[in-house]
Amino acid sequence: MDEINYKIEVNNIEFNNLGYRGKFWDYFQKIDKIKNNIIKINDVKNSILLLRVPSPLSYVIWKYSGRPLNTILFLIGNPQYTSAYFTGNYFKSIFQKIRSDIHDYRLKTICRKSNTTVIVNSESLKTVWGNILNTTPDIINTSSISDNDILNYKKLENIINPPYKLLFVGRVCFDKGIRELLESLYLLNKDNPSMYILKIIGPIGNLDGMKIDELLNEFKVKKFASYCGIKEFGPDLFEQYRNSHIYILPSYHEGMPKTIWESMANGTPVLASEIDGIKDNFVNEKDILFVKVKSSKSIVNQVKRLINSTRLYNRIRKNGLKKSKLYTKEIQSKKIINKINENYN
């Protein structure tokens, strides 16, 4: 499906695609797919089951796998509902809250009925999920970047010229800060039209029923912004980072987004919200530049700071490259393997 943008190409791994993030009723169709796929796997009950959570399908997978005794919960995000999700629709928010509470209760059930290892990918998630699941999680950061994906700093140009190319990669929805980003784009171009251009890449999420073109028109940035759809993880996506001057992620909440590692590994400075999950891992003005949550003015100010200071610009992307080398998928996967060996022999 279009939203599955990371291919697994390993001989001894079978990748079963359950489909894109669909409507609520798609959940029941996916349950049938899970049942059919698990039947094909030999002795799954006595295997080690690793669940990437939070996910509404996590408990179903565990259940139809025969409730494996050895289960790893790898939590890479916040609970499925936080106050940051609220958009003004009370009925929808109540529904999301109930669904999130059910999901958390099911994770607690897995912890009670199996020998469970809980892993998170940031210090803030350790606190959040530790409280919910009444446990002490281990921290292992997640990254999709390989050693071979990281650029050589010496190959990067030291001087950037207008038009300044801004980039957003991620789920295009309100809680990712897309409104603030578009408003800041309008403000940046208000006095200098077409000085700043923005590319938006990723699946469309919750826009309260609006289409992306309608949103661009509402903020009067149709001339400066373009929606490029979904890009498959790999060279084509990396090229988008490398051809951009700044990557911006003004989210309201995060676990630890892999797109930050992707941007840093490709030599593109990152502007991101100063929120739990992100601020756990980076130092402001050293390897990242923080912006205030829900503040278009903060985005505008920080973009101008980067553009107007070659020294700051190059320091952040040089340190970002260094940092990304410490969190490659090769390094992090070894940590996961060590944790499995430690807990399950």
Tokens 């259940």 belong to which residue? 63
Same domain, 216 and 304: yes
Residue 32 in domain: no
Same domain, 171 and 317: yes
Name the H helices within 40-89. 58-64
Q: Report helix angle 123-133 to 90-113, nearest 10.
A: 80
What's the mean per-residue pLDDT of the chain?
Answer: 88
Q: What's the whole-number mean pLDDT along residues 140-154?
A: 89
- pLDDT of 36 reads 75
Same domain, 300 and 338: no
Q: What's the whole-number mean pLDDT along residues 131-146?
A: 93
Residue 58 in domain: yes
pLDDT tens, position by position, 224-267:
999 999 998 899 999 999 999 999 999 998 889 999 999 999 99
Q: 27 with 57: CB under 8 angstroms?
A: yes
Residue 48 in domain: yes
Same domain, 212 and 261: yes
- pLDDT of 3 reads 44
- pLDDT of 219 reads 97
Residue 30 in domain: no
Statement: residue 322 has pLDDT above 60: yes
Statement: residue 43 has pLDDT above 70: no
**Comparison of pLDDT for 40 and 334, the residue scoring more:** 334
Residue 22 in domain: no
Same domain, 151 and 132: no
Q: What is the CA radius of gyration of the chain?
A: 21
CA-to-CA distance for 10 and 1, rounded, in angstroms? Answer: 19
- Residue length, the chain? 345
**Comparison of pLDDT for 167 and 24, the residue scoring more:** 167
**Comparison of pLDDT for 37 and 300, the residue scoring more:** 300
In the structure, what pLDDT confidence band is assigned to residue 45 with cuts at 50, 70 and 90? low
CA-to-CA distance for 68 and 152, rounded, in angstroms? Answer: 44
The CATH number covering residue 260 comes to: 3.40.50.2000
Same domain, 318 and 334: no
Residue 166 in domain: yes
Same domain, 172 and 266: yes
- pLDDT of 88 reads 64
Statement: residue 83 has pLDDT above 80: no
DSSP secondary structure code for residue 154 in this structure: G
Q: What's the whole-number mean pLDDT along residues 335-345?
A: 91
Same domain, 267 and 303: yes
Residue 176 in domain: yes
Tokens 């049942």 belong to which residue? 35
Statement: residue 5 has pLDDT above 70: no
CA-to-CA distance for 79 and 94, rounded, in angstroms? Answer: 14
Same domain, 306 and 272: yes
Same domain, 212 and 156: yes
The SS3 of residue 320 is helix
Statement: residue 93 has pLDDT above 90: no
Name the H helices within the chain. 26-39, 58-64, 90-113, 123-133, 178-190, 212-218, 235-242, 258-265, 296-308, 310-324, 329-344
Same domain, 170 and 129: no
Same domain, 71 and 95: yes
**Comparison of pLDDT for 109 and 5, the residue scoring more:** 109
CA-to-CA distance for 82 and 62, rounded, in angstroms? Answer: 25
Question: What b/e sequence results for 191-214 when a residue is b if at least 16 CB atoms lie within 10 Å of its CB, and e otherwise?
Answer: eeeeebbbbbbbbbebbeeeebee
CA-to-CA distance for 215 and 220, rounded, in angstroms? Answer: 9
- pLDDT of 40 reads 63
Range of the domain at 95: 42-142+329-344
Which distant-in-sequence residues (6+ apart) come within 8 Å of 197 by Cβ? Answer: 163, 164, 165, 166, 224, 225, 226
Cα angle at 262 between 282 and 181, to 5 degrees?
75
Number of domains present in the structure of the chain: 2
Q: What's the whole-number mean pLDDT along residues 264-291?
A: 95
CA-to-CA distance for 155 and 158, rounded, in angstroms? Answer: 9
175: left (phi over 0), alpha (psi -120 to 50) or beta: alpha
Residue 12 in domain: no
- pLDDT of 2 reads 42
In the structure, what pLDDT confidence band is assigned to residue 1 with cuts at 50, 70 and 90? very low
- pLDDT of 16 reads 61
**DSSP character string of 208-274:** TT--HHHHHHHTT-TTTEEE-----TTHHHHHHHHT-SEEEE--S--S--HHHHHHHHTT--EEEE-
Strand partners, 248: 271
- pLDDT of 96 reads 81
